[in-house]
Amino acid sequence: MDRNIQAEPFSVVGVGDMSGDVFGNGMLLSPEIRLVAAFDHRDIFFDPTPDAAVSLAERKRLFALPRSSWQDYDKSLISAGGGVFSRSLKVIPLSEEMQALLGLQKATASPNEVMRAILSAQVDLLWFGGIGTYIKAPEEDDASVGDRANDAIRVTADQVRAKVVGEGANLGVTQRGRIAYALKGGRINTDAIDNSAGVNSSDLEVNIKIALAPVVAAGALDGEARIAFLASMTDDVAALCLRNNYLQGLALSLAERAGTSELPDHRVLIEGLEERGRLDRAVEFLPSDAVLDARAAQGKGLTRPELAVILAYAKLSLFDDLVAGRAIDTPYLAGELFRYFPQKLNATYPAAVEGHRLKREVIATVLANAMINRGGPAFVSELMAATSASAGEVALAYAAVRDVYGLTALYAAVDALDNKVPGAVQLALYAQVEALLYREALWFLRNGNVGASDVAALVERHKAGVEALRGAGVSLLSDKEREALSGRIAELVEHGVDAELAQRIGELPVIGNASDIVLVAERAGVSIEAAAGAFFGAAGQFDLFRIVEEGRNIVLADRFDRMALDRALANLMRALRDLTADVLKAGDIATWRGQHEAGIARTVKAVTELTGGAATVSRLSVAAGLLADLAREG
């Protein structure tokens, strides 16, 4: 939404009070909060035009008290027309300011009517911190909600006018209510997403204590020292939890941004989980096939609350598959263990971390989170379907791509753009990296034999290829391709991306050819630079980079059409590798052209005619066949 909540004012209504850890903490997390109304089980609070600094200080005072209610709020600090009212009153007098805030044009209203109006207020954020379910879908009845205490004040999703709903409390909104709110444009996750830091911190606490148990038993750490050491990692644990929250929310935003283009992938994921008995679509209120068809026809994908559900199931099933396999025992993935724990623990007691009795489970957790957060809910299921690889082999391919292309540093550079560039621009950058991750993981699964290879050696060879290509890539491009690269970089800079990052993102389509070039160089026994020159030279003859890019942009709903497209693109790249080998055998591009002048001219003409219009699977398939024929002639 391009709203910086630490620097720009935003209005809030909520359920809870400042004595509650969820509501209270939340209402202290920005100096720009304008809390205009709230209620708990006792009172209703109104501050129609709050002073941000004054009200924040008062909320802090209440939060620091051993116990407090809205009645403890200093009434002299409340803005004109506001006040604190007991829910036991028969009627509440409505000032002009309260009437404007609530949209109630009358002098008095019952407490229930006032609370329903608060839930429906036109504000930036509706923040749930109290117990209860307050929003349902229009078609749901109160009995199905299962919260009789709040039947009288519950509203339907179509009545909610807040731009964003945050569920700090459990089940503030029914799942069907979340979906209905999201379908009408509201921004909402699920309580599991919004509450995940609590579970995350508990898991970390337990696993850190397990790691330290042998240290204590060996006498290297006494009881008091253990307590002090645990306390010293508090901020580090918080940072790890918040980082996971950040990445999980980002994964949902990217999946939501993809919309209908990823809907077929999500559908296959849902069907696959159902076939394995891992998911009951009806229980999780996920769309039926008929509803998915209707969404696709309307150009709509899954909503954020639905994406949150399949994200969780994808992680859970991947975790189980990784633990059941052997890939997480490979030396290359051993380092994932240290990504889980605070650096202070890793540095102080590395042997305790390495000897953790839940080592395999921790590694599987780290990988499941990282792979799904970075690749999207269907990342693993799609790669497994495309290659018949195991989940463990996909994990090895993921780690290889991450390390070959230096994606950790690249992601950090994009993260640093928070509140500096438009959100749409930042998400587009992430999406380009995500696309590279998928393509290259697919490449390694098909060509790198990660399940049987020395992955560390494989990574080092390909990393060298990336660095060589990064140094010489631009000089190898044709004028047309160089112009396209300059255009991509200039556009990013125009949107506020710094020149260095714009260069790194803009060159991804070029650098993404490194794996093919390294493979050709190894097979031909030549340098990476020589293979790269032949590769780009051969591609330039047929304008192949444009053709492949147009093919990658084709959006198809049918699963088998998508498989056919994937195969056509793979065949194009295989033909390009073969043509590159022919160029290397000839000595240089000019000699190769001279040796095959007639065949090249014929193929250029045919491929140009095929790909001059809108790209289709059949056109790409025929083009790949023509190029393969030319390579066979060579």
Mean pLDDT computed over every residue of the chain? 95
- pLDDT for 473 equals 66
pLDDT in tens, 87-117: 999 999 999 999 999 999 999 999 999 999 9
Helix, strand, coil shares of the chain, percent, nearest 5, are 65, 5, 30
For 422, what's the count of Cα atoms within 13 Å in the CB-facing half-sphere?
A: 7
Q: How far apart are CA 285 and CA 357, in angstroms?
A: 37
Q: Which residue ranges form the domains of the chain, and what is each CATH number? A: 10-188 (3.40.50.720), 196-377 (no CATH), 524-634 (no CATH)
Inter-CA distances, 163 with 188, 297, 335, Å: 9, 26, 42
Find the helix or strand (DSSP H, E) in which 402 lies: helix 391-404
Residues in Cβ contact with 191 at an 8 Å cutoff, skipping those fewer than 6 apart: 167, 169, 170, 171, 172, 173
For residue 555, pLDDT over 90 is answered with: no
- pLDDT for 478 equals 82
Give me the sign of the Cα torsion angle 145, 150, 154, 157. negative
Task: Provide, rounded to the nearest whole percent, the portion of the chain with pLDDT above 90.
Answer: 91
Per DSSP bridges, beta strands 10-15 and 43-46 are unpaired
- pLDDT for 289 equals 93
Q: How far apart are CA 330 and CA 453, in angstroms?
A: 11
- pLDDT for 476 equals 83
Residue 257, φ and ψ in degrees, nearest 5: -60, -40
- pLDDT for 393 equals 97
- pLDDT for 481 equals 86
- pLDDT for 4 equals 95
Inter-CA distances, 169 with 174, 194, 452, 473, Å: 12, 9, 47, 52
pLDDT in tens, 209-266: 999 999 999 999 999 999 999 999 999 999 999 999 999 999 999 999 999 999 999 9
CA angle 443, 446, 451 (to 5 degrees): 105
Q: Give the DSSP letter string of 123-162.
A: -SEEEE-SSS--EE-TT--HHHHT-GGGTTT-EEGGG---
As separate numbers, helices (DSSP H) first and strands (DSSP E) second, the chain gives 32, 10
Position of tokens 């994932």? 336
Q: How confident is the model over 277-289, as a mean pLDDT?
A: 95
Q: How far apart are CA 199 and CA 222, in angstroms?
A: 28
Name the DSSP class of 286: P
- pLDDT for 2 equals 94
| Cα first-last separation, the chain | 55
For residue 399, pLDDT over 70 is answered with: yes
Task: Provide, rounded to the nearest whole percent, the portion of the chain with pLDDT above 70.
Answer: 100
Q: How far apart are CA 315 and CA 374, in angstroms?
A: 12
Identify the band that residue 345 occupies on the pLDDT scale cut at 50, 70 and 90.
Answer: very high
pLDDT in tens, 558-612: 888 888 999 999 999 999 999 999 999 999 999 999 999 999 999 999 999 988 8
Q: How confident is the model over 345-351, as a mean pLDDT?
A: 97
pLDDT in tens, 134-179: 999 999 999 999 999 999 999 999 999 999 999 999 999 999 999 9
pLDDT in tens, 410-458: 999 999 999 999 999 999 999 999 999 999 999 999 998 898 889 999 9
Token duo for residue 37: 């109304």
Q: How confident is the model over 373-379, as a mean pLDDT?
A: 97
- pLDDT for 368 equals 98
Q: How confident is the model over 284-297, as a mean pLDDT?
A: 94
- pLDDT for 394 equals 98
